[in-house]
Chain A
């Protein structure tokens, strides 16, 4: 079955710097890759997703890139702010599939 690995497990950056979180997946049939943000004590919420027919997607300060050949995808956050501090989860799924497999999460801390 699908396996998703996520790195790093923790990431500390200075406010204004960029943060990059990387994930790899094992099933080449996977074609949907969402990212969820979980603030302390809150529920996970979708922040951006990408499907395999595109290589990059941006939404203001966040972007996701996908390399299908290498089977990895990354989340990029530019101009980080303290409110970006949270746990971020990547995930992978197959179109029409019945399971969403999550990575183990990255705790991002943005220091003012």
Chain B
């Protein structure tokens, strides 16, 4: 089944404790991105990747890191999480190297930083 898989679905952590949210797609998509969803603010892009080894900042990259060593995986890393990073996170992938084809979203990761 074609899908984007994120793990974990739910995570509660403490301030400053490094964490990684994994994202994997099995559709051979070139474009992958991370968004955070907050009430009243919609979906804001954190980082994106046009292809393997190519990553770039979105609109809210502060406090996050990503890597794209393989086409299928695009992990999101929070080196030192803070409470303002409490949010619902979505990974997404698109077929082409660009943002103008259908984005397929993962199930979401609800992160709470205390």
Task: Give residues in A with beta carbon < 8 Å to B.
Answer: 1, 6, 9, 31-32, 34, 36, 43-46, 49, 51, 89, 93-105
Contact = CB atoms under 8 A, between A and B. Distances in A.
Nearest to B49: A98
Contacts, number: 64
* Those 9 A-B pairs whose CB atoms lie nearest each other, nearest first: A32-B100, A104-B42, A100-B99, A43-B105, A102-B43, A93-B99, A93-B100, A102-B42, A46-B102
B103 interface: yes
Interface in B42-60: 42-45, 48, 50, 56, 58-59
Contact of A44 (B33, B43, B98): B43
Contacts of B50: 98
Interface of B: 33, 35, 40-45, 48, 50, 56, 58-59, 90, 98-100, 102-103, 105-108
A36 B48 CA distance: 19
Contacts of A95: 98, 100
Given A94-B100, A100-B45, A105-B43, 15 more contacts: A34-B103, A36-B103, A43-B105, A43-B106, A51-B100, A89-B42, A94-B99, A95-B98, A100-B33, A100-B99, A100-B103, A102-B35, A102-B42, A102-B43, A104-B42
Contact of B99 (A1, A89, A97, A105): A97
